[in-house]
Homo-oligomer: A and B are copies of this chain.
Amino acid sequence: MALIGRNAAGKTAQLDDVSKKIIEQLQADGRRSYAEIGKAVGLSEAAVRQRVQKLTDAGVMQVVAVTDPMQLGFYRQAMIGIRATGDTRVLAEQLSAIPAVDYVVLTAGSFDLLVEVVCEDDDELITLLNSQIRSLDGVSSTETFVYLKLHKQFYNWGTR
């Protein structure tokens, strides 16, 4: 077992090849049965279940539904770069609370934060920017990158 990570509590997380294969199976299809995964990785159903439980509890992995915004009527997505003063963590907290915001990251570089937003249309994006983001205390300036086409999104972090 190779040491691979460190979890939220600071404890080391270990991942052997079998666990990686299990994650790969669930990345391909999150509803695949433990029995089927067991056959694929050479483990009993109970053993697979135990490992999935552990990986989930440790926060290494989670099985969730992800949706396509475009197909749900959200035709306008954008990444917004934010230059800020003051504590960016406070700002990140406030930005996370906005429903249209689905991604917040503190960065080093010419932006202090990057936030991704999902809107129904341009009107909503404009309102969002003016009334909910630029109006926040500590936001110095913003730069908006409207999505023309989401080319590819992978969920296979870590097992590449």
- By a beta-carbon cutoff of 8 Å, the part of chain A in contact with chain B is 4-7, 13, 15, 23, 26-31, 58-74, 78-79, 81, 89, 92-93, 95-96, 99-111, 114, 118, 143-160
Q: How far is the CB of A79 from chain B (nearest CB, A)?
A: 6
Q: Oligomeric state, in number of copies?
A: 2
A106 and B148: CB pair below 8 A? Answer: yes
Partner of A103, one of B13, B30, B153: B153
A72 and B111: CB pair below 8 A? Answer: no
A sample of 13 cross-chain residue pairs with beta-carbon separation below 8 angstroms, ordered by A number, consists of A4-B71, A7-B71, A26-B64, A30-B62, A60-B67, A60-B68, A63-B64, A67-B157, A72-B159, A105-B147, A105-B150, A106-B148, A111-B145
Bound complex: CA A149 to CA B103 (Å): 12
